[in-house]
Amino acid sequence: MTAQPAPQIQPDPRAEEHARQAARVAELNARFRHHGATSVLKVALRDKAFGEIAMVSSFGAESVALLHLVSTVDPGTPVLFIDTELLFPETLEYQQTVAERLELTDVRTIKADPARLAERDPYGALKFSDQDLCCTLRKTEPLDNALADFAGWITGRKRFQGGKRAQMEFFELDPDGRIKVNPLAHWRPGDVAEYMAQNNLPRHPLVAQGYPSIGCAPCTSKVAEGEDPRAGRWRGRDKTECGIHLVDGRMIREGDAR
């Protein structure tokens, strides 16, 4: 009996592209190991090999530092601002003030699909009963949809914020193959305040009222002296992230098996 030839395994183009991008991320991290935020931003925004890249900003307590850095490299960089419709009024006013002051020309306000909200949160009660699902509907899903048009994105995360951020590099690869750029990864706690002071940048008005980390109004409280700056986020709950920056960059609700 003639032996049948073994079936040939066809290469998976997606796996090959992911491997190529992973190698590129490793090369970039090695190349920029001893560089600073500006160098990282310049290569991300000017190297055409990256493709189109956006910045994601909450316009929160420390956001203006990275927004200013981006504006000095390319003020036309798309900036994605997620309006959950649960933000403090001060945040909405601050977003407009900063965008005008820095002359950012492409700030895009991202919101949840109204039909999706009507289906899953018709009474607006998820902010009390299921904060993870609320974050998914109002933050992670809208951002995931918006990022579909981009090859990469810039974040303001820093190692000193601890938790899953403690070992982050300048460049990461998310499961969808997008390169995530963290220019401030190696900044120390005092660097942001110093940079803001040196450049005379406007501060979020709620910082002076005791809010060093600012998210949605229902899930953000004041922080007492000596507390961790993020202690006021989801206070009293076993939750530390909104879902946008989960491990490996997977933008899904915590506990979701997908």
Q: Is the pLDDT of residue 178 over 70?
A: yes
Q: What share of the chain in percent tops pLDDT 90?
A: 57
Summarize pLDDT for 217-227 with one digit per residue, the tens: 999 898 988 88
Residue 212 DSSP class: S
Of the pLDDT bands very low, low, confident and very high (cuts 50, 70, 90), residue 27 is very high
242 a catalytic residue: yes
Residue environment code for 136-151, b if the CB has 16+ CB neighbours within 10 A, otherwise e: bbbbbbbbeebbeebe
Helices (H), 106-247: 114-120, 126-129, 131-135, 141-147, 189-198
Q: How much is the pLDDT for 252?
A: 35
Find the catalytic residue in 134, 135, 219, 242. 242
Tokens read off for 183? 């220019």
Instruction: Give the least confident one: 28-37, 78-87, 111-120, 161-170.
Output: 161-170
Q: How much is the pLDDT for 258?
A: 23
What domains appear along the chain, each with residue ranges and CATH number? 15-249 (3.40.50.620)
Of the pLDDT bands very low, low, confident and very high (cuts 50, 70, 90), residue 184 is very high
CA–CA separation, 258 and 219 (whole Å): 25
Give the pLDDT mean for 2-27. 77
Mean pLDDT of the chain: 86
Residue 223 CB contacts under 8 Å (≥ 6 apart), including other chains: 210, 211, 212, 213, 229, 231, 232
- Name which of 91, 82, 185 is nearest 139 in CA terms: 82
| φ, ψ (nearest 5 deg) of residue 91 | -70, -40
CA–CA separation, 102 and 193 (whole Å): 17
- Name which of 17, 40, 10 is nearest 175 in CA terms: 17
